[in-house]
Chains A and B, each alone.
Chain A
Amino acid sequence: MASVPSDLKYSRSHEWVRVEGDVATIGITDHAQAELGDIVYLDLPEVGRILQQDAQFGEVESVKAVSELFSPVGGEVVESNTGIADTTEVVNQDPFGGGWLIKVRIADTAELASLLDAADYEKFANEHGGH
């Protein structure tokens, strides 16, 4: 079974969010990486880009498929994990740790209320399948 850490928030497009102060760290879930299989390419935004909630911020490509990435919260990109560009398998191996994708300075914390908690995401993922 896919891991779903209880301290994170989740989007219905299979991203996770870890909130620390006003910064949200964002990645794709264990469920999403397992569905995609071997990830070989990441397209991540540059620092400074302003994202609206649910806006596409990049794409993740596995041998099998290309999937768009959507920002679970709006705000400014303050960090982008470009260091894993040539070791994208980290996203498969450690999706909630070394495989994080971007950090966003949250514009409006009220948006977090629309995200799922771990129990609801687990239920959602089991019902809705792929990334």
Chain B
Amino acid sequence: MSSELLKTPLYDAHVALNARMVDFAGWSMPVMYAGILDEVRAVRTGIGLFDISHMGRIRVIGEEATSLLQAVTSNDVSSLAYTQAQYSLLTNPDGGIIDDIIVYRQAENAYMVVINASNTDKDISWIRSKAGAGVEIFDDSAATAMIAVQGPEAPAITAQLASNPELLNMDRFHYATGTIAGAEATFCRTGYTGEDGFELIVPAESATAVWNALVAAGGVPCGLGSRDALRIEAGYPLYGHEIDDTTSPVEALLMWAVSLEKGEFTGRDHIATLKANGAKRKLMGLVSSERIQPRQGYTVFIGSEEVGIITSGVFSPTLGTSIAMAYIDSRYAKTGTAVEVSVRDKRIPAVLKQKKNLLQNS
């Protein structure tokens, strides 16, 4: 174990809960507490807690903040209310994906942007390189902590601890400020598990008190292992698996996070051209009838023909069989198509589905 790993403000709380800590993107993070599958079930049926403080949190402020974000992100920030958030992409000049991000608008020219831990330095450098004199970029990552409270019981328990029933009326992808467990907090109705809930941003020094209050209220501490399984079940992409600097939002089926209409942004022409011509491959979901797990890099076949490659796969405790996402040759990328995944020395049957419908029966 390297002594140089970064620690979130909740590190001691994880160790006290006997979490198994691993190196993730240079951070010492909990991969699991009692067990990955039980943690998945807790989030699907009750309430789970995740330390996501390792993600980067930056503020983009100044008279050119809106024009900067319009230029470097794929989605349209101009339509956002000052209490609203948006999933978006940082795109490169080739139309590839630098990172997937959440943009929170705070005022006409003030935003918070949450970025992936593994990309924090790359993203900040990129945004700074595109910023003119009329915008300032502040890195709030170290001064704050971020806790995801996810699951069907998450909204009610969060609202109760915050003594703020109004939180329950908040729509998804909106946020509000308030207090929880005596700490100032930003309550974002966002998450990456496929369940309802909040992501809380609190001052670093208050993180442990907020975490402990949520645990005392029944929140099940969950690690990165269950977080990954949950996002695969929900069909959400992860940088380094489904998306990276060489993948296009067209093939990743992320065009709902791209506004070609808003005007110019980095890589727009490449994305528009690929959309018009059609991508050669598409990101699909796969449901296997077996428990053996397709993993990143495994090949997908129809008969003897290679038709795709797995980007992520996991045993789904919700379905009781394994699921995956894969880039599939567009000619075959249709719901219901029977394929086989080459898993070491075996061929495992699977059926293609839209990635958003992996947990649905039809």
Contact = CB atoms under 8 A, between A and B. Distances in A.
Interface string B30-59: 011001110000000000000000000000
B262 interface: no
B292 A63 contact: no
B314 A63 contact: yes
Given A63-B314, A64-B31, A41 B293 contact: yes
Interface residues of A, number: 15
B280 interface: no
A40 interface: yes
A61 B293 contact: yes
B291 interface: yes
B35 A37 contact: yes
B93 interface: no
Interface string A84-96: 0110110010000
A50 B320 CA distance: 32
B341 to A, nearest CB: 13
Contact of B291 (A37, A59, A66, A88): A88
B33 to A, nearest CB: 11
A117 interface: no
Instruction: Report the interface size class on chain B.
Output: 10 to 19
A32 to B, nearest CB: 15
A38 B40 CA distance: 12
Given A37-B32, A37-B35, A40-B315, A63 B229 contact: yes
Interface string B302-331: 000000000000110000101000000000
Contacts of A63: 36-37, 225, 229, 293, 314-315
B51 to A, nearest CB: 18
A63 to B, nearest CB: 5
A37 B36 contact: yes
Contacts of A89: 37
B36 A38 contact: yes
B291 A41 contact: yes
Contact of B292 (A41, A64, A86): A41
Interface in A36-79: 37-38, 40-41, 43, 59, 61, 63-64, 66
B225 A86 contact: no
A64 to B, nearest CB: 7
Nearest to A64: B225
Contacts of A86: 291, 320
Interface in B315-362: 315, 320, 322, 344
**Most chain A Cβ neighbours within 10 Å, of B225, B314, B315:** B315
Contacts of B225: 37, 63-64
Given A40-B37, A63-B293, 15 more contacts: A37-B36, A38-B32, A38-B36, A38-B37, A40-B291, A40-B293, A41-B290, A43-B292, A59-B344, A63-B37, A63-B225, A63-B229, A63-B315, A64-B31, A86-B291
Interface of A: 37-38, 40-41, 43, 59, 61, 63-64, 66, 85-86, 88-89, 92
Interface of B: 20, 31-32, 35-37, 225, 229, 290-293, 314-315, 320, 322, 344
27 contacts: A37-B20, A37-B35, A37-B36, A38-B32, A38-B36, A38-B37, A40-B291, A40-B315, A40-B322, A41-B290, A41-B291, A41-B293, A61-B292, A61-B293, A63-B36, A63-B37, A63-B225, A63-B229, A63-B293, A64-B31, A64-B36, A64-B225, A66-B344, A86-B291, A86-B320, A88-B291, A89-B37
Q: Lowest 4 A-B CB distances belong to which pairs?
A: A40-B315, A41-B291, A41-B292, A38-B37
